[in-house]
């Protein structure tokens, strides 16, 4: 899975019809971050989390 940069703080993945993976998004804010995930499969969710962690993206809880 590869994250594409749309803007300085917005990233997304391409959908994959072979694995039924939807487009996923990530918004990295100054105070918090938001993951946009419409996946139905646990496998896709785990892959998404791992992609964020390996890419050193910062995700934190909103205060």
Residue ranges covered by each domain of the chain = 4-54
Model confidence at 37, pLDDT cuts 50, 70, 90, reads: confident
What is the reported pTM? 0.63
Which sign, positive or negative, has the C-alpha torsion 10, 11, 17, 20? negative
Structure tokens at 24: 């996923």
Asked if 48 contacts 35 with a C-beta cutoff of 8 angstroms, the reply is: yes
How crowded is residue 11: how many other Cβ atoms within 10 Å of its Cβ? 21
> Rounded to whole angstroms, how far apart are CA atoms 19 and 15?
9
- Summarised one tens digit per residue, pLDDT across range 2-14 is 889 999 999 998 8
Residue 63 has pLDDT above 80, yes or no: no
Model confidence at 61, pLDDT cuts 50, 70, 90, reads: very low
């Amino acid at each position: 899975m590869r994250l594409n940069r749309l803007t300085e703080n917005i990233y997304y993945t391409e959908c994959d019809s072979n694995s039924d993976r939807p487009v996923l998004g990530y918004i990295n804010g100054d105070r918090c971050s938001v993951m946009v995930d419409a996946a139905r499969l646990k496998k896709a969710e785990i892959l998404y989390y791992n992609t964020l962690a390996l890419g050193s993206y910062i995700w934190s809880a909103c205060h």
